[in-house]
């Protein structure tokens, strides 16, 4: 989940790698001896409207060629955001094919995702209508995003 009020995320990790993933209380490395599907919670404390009324499930898929190819992030919970489309695909520069570097750590990707969600980049939209609304009428965008989050967001995890 990504609870953007506190930027609390629990992501479904698919695939295997030697990449370190920050868990709820400890760091954990995935190796080939482990199950390819793992659940992990990541936590950053913040209160950021308009997404503080719900949590968002994300999936991070590590391809077989990882770390030489970037992971793919998909929002499984609908979100009202100019950089995330209706299918949950994310426009995140750090994981684009052009910008990806094998040394990039999973926590850097997640921090970039949290930063993008909290600070949309309307100049690189996947949803032009929301980018225009965000640019021209921020108050309306925030109201619509908050209502959308209340309607479609998942219940926020409790500590």
In angstroms, the CA 121 to CA 118 distance is 10
The crossing angle, in degrees rounded to 10, of helices 128-136 and 138-152 is: 130
- 120 touches 83 (CB < 8 A): yes
- 148 touches 81 (CB < 8 A): no
Alpha helices for 6-127 (secondary structure H):
106-118
- 110 touches 19 (CB < 8 A): no
Q: Is residue 91 flagged as an active site residue?
A: yes
Q: Catalytic pick from 73, 91, 109, 130?
A: 91
Helix, coil or strand: residue 36? coil
Catalytic residues: 91
């Amino acid at each position: 989940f990504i609870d953007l009020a506190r930027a609390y995320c629990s992501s479904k990790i698919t695939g295997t790698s030697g990449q370190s993933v920050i868990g709820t209380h400890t760091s954990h490395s995935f190796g080939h001896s482990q199950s390819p599907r793992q659940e992990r919670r990541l936590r950053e404390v913040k209160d950021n409207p308009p997404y503080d009324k719900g949590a968002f499930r994300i999936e991070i898929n590590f391809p077989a060629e990882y770390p030489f190819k970037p992971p793919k992030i998909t929002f499984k919970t609908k979100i009202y955001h100019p950089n995330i489309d209706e299918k949950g695909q994310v426009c995140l520069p750090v994981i684009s094919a052009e910008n990806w570097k094998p040394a990039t750590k999973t926590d850097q990707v997640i921090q970039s995702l949290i930063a993008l969600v909290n600070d949309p980049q309307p100049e690189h939209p996947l949803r032009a209508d929301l980018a225009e609304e965000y640019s021209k009428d921020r108050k309306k965008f925030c109201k619509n995003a908050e209502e959308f989050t209340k309607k479609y967001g998942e219940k926020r995890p409790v500590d």
